[in-house]
Structures are given as structure tokens and as C-alpha cells.
Copies of this chain bind each other. A is one copy, B any other.
Amino acid sequence: MSAVSAPEPAYRLDEQVGFVLRQVQQRHTGIFAAAFGDDMTPTQWSALVRLAEAGECSQNHLGRLIATDVATIKGIADRLIRRGLVETRADPADRRRLLLRLTEAGHDAYRTRAATALDVSSETLAPLSKTEQATLLRLLDRLR
């Protein structure tokens, strides 16, 4: 036996990206829920924001804007509609399409809670310095 350490790398769960990533996300959704309460989830919020930016767009297109597939965006849209934040109309130019847009209540929710959403991001990143926060976001962005 040589004194050189074994070549097979140990599998340490706590050092695997996926495992750590999942826990960071758990912490983030916890912070989000504490700030927003039961009536809004991170995904619903991102749909709301994108709809505020885009003005009006089809259901599937909104899904692409927030990186959810067609089955998932349907559920999200349904819940936002049920809560009166989004309304729909048929696309006059394409009978397959369902156009979505914010209601007045939806616009209000966007305006009044954007500051809270910024706080959630701040609190999530709070354990890091400003420089570290910027580094993390830059690196994560490249893994998207």
C-alpha cells in the first residue's frame, strides 16, 4: 500500500450544490412567507411582476417569462384569477390564446408590495456582505 490517499473522491452530501441549493431555497421561501403571509407565494409574485411589466400577454408566454411550463403556469394563473388579481379575455387575433392582465387590485398589490419583496431579498442575503451578495448573484446567474 502506498501512503498516497485513495483516489476515489468521497461523496459528501453537505458539499453538493443541489443539496445546499434546496436548503437555501427553503430558507428563502420561509422568509417570503413571513413577509407576505398566506395570500402570496414567490412564484405568484413573480407572475404578478412580469404581468405588470409586460402589460398583457398569453398564458403560455407568461409561463416562459417566469420559467414555468404550461401545466404549472395554468395553476398559478388560476389562483391569481380566483384571488381577483388577474383577469382574462380571448385573443381576437388567435382563438387558441387566453390573454392575461392585471386587475386594478393586481396593480395595487404590485405597487404596495414591491418594497416588501425587496426586503425579502435583503433578508435572504443578510448573512453576506454587499460584495459577497454581488458575487453570489453574479455566479448564480451563470448557472441558470
Contacts and interface: CB of A to CB of B under 8 A. Distances in A.
Q: How large is the interface on A (under 10, 10 to 19, 20 to 34, 35 or more residues)?
A: 35 or more
Nearest to A32: B18
Number of copies of this protein chain within its complex? 2
Contact of A17 (B9, B11, B66, B125): B125
A103 interface: no
Contacts of A27: 143-144
Interface in A117-144: 117-118, 120-121, 124-125, 127-128, 132, 135-137, 139-144
Contact of A11 (B114, B136, B143): B114
A140 B15 contact: no
A105 interface: no
Interface of A: 9, 11, 13, 15-29, 32, 42-43, 46, 49-50, 53, 66-67, 114, 117-118, 120-121, 124-125, 127-128, 132, 135-137, 139-144
9 contacts: A11-B117, A13-B66, A21-B21, A21-B25, A22-B25, A27-B143, A127-B142, A136-B136, A136-B143
